[in-house]
Amino acid sequence: MDFTVNTARFITSAGLGSELPEPKCAEIAVVGKSNVGKSSLINSLCGRNKLAKTSSKPGKTRLINYFLLNEEFYLVDLPGYGYAAAPKEEQAKWGRLMEGYLSSGRVSHICMLIDVRHEPTALDRQMFGYIIYYGIPYTLIATKADKLAKTKRRQAANAAAKLLGAPPYAIAWSSETGEGRRELLQRIEAVVHPEAGVDPEAAE
């Protein structure tokens, strides 16, 4: 039986110095540059149109947003990076917030989003470097796959991962069509229910 998201609700937003909610069995964070499609992915994954707020204006998410899924684990929306119009002070605050969170020991897994249509930026590579430095297990997700021809999506996703400096594999994802959803849910199940013995590589 395939793993599903049955319930999803917003818990809290946290900034610098804020108290984080009581830990659950797993905490899966979603990170990526501004406007890469984090909120759309969360909404699509949870089957809720307005769970995470989406915006055509980059840089909207500036806090760590906690969502409780199936009443058992957290899905965490991290602030987007690389928004050039953000004041330097705001960018520095983002850096301190992210460093504190990634080094907290709370994070079970990170879903890092990259745009399948573009080469990863220097900030994407820096973010990936943080994930490796803190030793956090990760899944790369190449968003907006529906913008490419179907025959080119998997190749483009894998190429983007390689350019990032990771092993050449990423889930080709589309919040519009649901492509990649089953594979991502398998990854999540392997994190949340490791005792089930689910192979997170099985869908590759």
CATH number, domain of 112, equals 3.40.50.300
Full residue range of the structural domain in which residue 182 is found: 8-196
pLDDT in tens, 81-128: 876 566 788 778 888 899 999 999 999 999 999 999 999 999 999 999
Q: State the pTM of this model.
A: 0.90
- Residue 3 covered by a domain: no
Could you give the number of structural domains in the chain?
A: 1
Helical (H) or strand (E) element with 143: strand 138-143
Task: Work out the burial of residue 174: count CB atoms within 10 Å of its CB; fewer than 13 is exposed, 13-18 middle, 19 or more buried.
Answer: buried
Q: Which residues of the chain have pLDDT under 70?
A: 1, 54-61, 83-86, 198-204
Tokens of 6: 């049955």
Exposure string over 26-62, b if 16+ CB within 10 A, otherwise e:
bbbbbbbbbbbbbbbbbbbbbebeebbebeeebbebb
Could you give the 3-state DSSP secondary structure of residue 32?
strand
Helical (H) or strand (E) element with 181: helix 181-192
Residue 143 to residue 134: CA distance in whole angstroms:
24
